[in-house]
Amino acid sequence: MTDDDDAALVAAARDGSVADLSRLIDRHQQAVRAFLARIAGSRDEAEDLAQETFLTACSQLSTYRGDASVRTWLCAIAWRKAKSARRSWFRARTRDTNYVDRVELERPNEISVEEGIALKAALSFLPLEQRAAVVLCLSEDFSHADAAQALNLPLGTVKSHVARGRAKLLAVLGETS
């Protein structure tokens, strides 16, 4: 998969090719869903946000300028959706004092169930922007520059978020850096 392949798919999708739009979404949906699963409160919420992300991307494909990779552009949309959902969640939680925070745990294939639970719990200690930067850079293999673009943050801020977030994760998980 190259950016040139994505550019061809974007051009064809803009010209009305539903098949090429589908290929474009298929190519990037795993990365977007993985990003959302790690920053959202639950698997259901992540799935809802992913659907909203792809619907928005489809309706706004004409606004994609090519300044960033398609994956970065999609994660930027996902990030905005997640932030908006988080604001709504906090407003709803404030209104409903009987809310019970349920978190579904998802574990990457490379680690044990116990490690996955510990990692999910440790990630929840990070502020949302810091968590998003850590997930994009350390889990989704985004460069700091791509993460900065996706999160609409200065490059230095993303670098700080990743460094501080990594340090907090290691501290919470009881390891030394």
**Same-domain check for residues 120 and 151:** yes
- pLDDT tops 60 at residue 84: yes
**Same-domain check for residues 65 and 84:** yes
Q: Which residues are within 8 A (CB) of 168 and not within 5 positions of it... i.e. 6 or more apart? A: 122, 125, 126, 130
Q: Which string of DSSP letters, residue by residue, matches 99-132?
A: ----------TTS-HHHHHHHHHHHHTS-HHHHH
CATH number of domain containing 56 = 1.10.1740.10
CATH number of domain containing 120 = 1.10.10.10
Q: Among 40, 71, 104, which residue terminates a domain?
A: 104
pLDDT tens-digit readout, 97-113: 333 333 333 434 566 77
Q: Higher-confidence residue: 125 or 1?
A: 125
- pLDDT tops 50 at residue 73: yes
Domain that holds residue 152: 107-177
Q: Among 51, 83, 104, which residue terminates a domain?
A: 104
Evaluated on CA atoms 163, 34, 82, 125, the torsion sign reads: negative
pLDDT tens-digit readout, 8-34: 999 999 999 999 999 999 999 999 999
Report the domain count for the chain.
Answer: 2
CA 118 from centroid of its chain's CA atoms = 20
**Same-domain check for residues 97 and 112:** no
**Same-domain check for residues 80 and 140:** no
Q: Among 80, 104, 128, which residue terminates a domain?
A: 104
**Same-domain check for residues 63 and 123:** no
pLDDT tens-digit readout, 114-126: 777 788 888 888 8
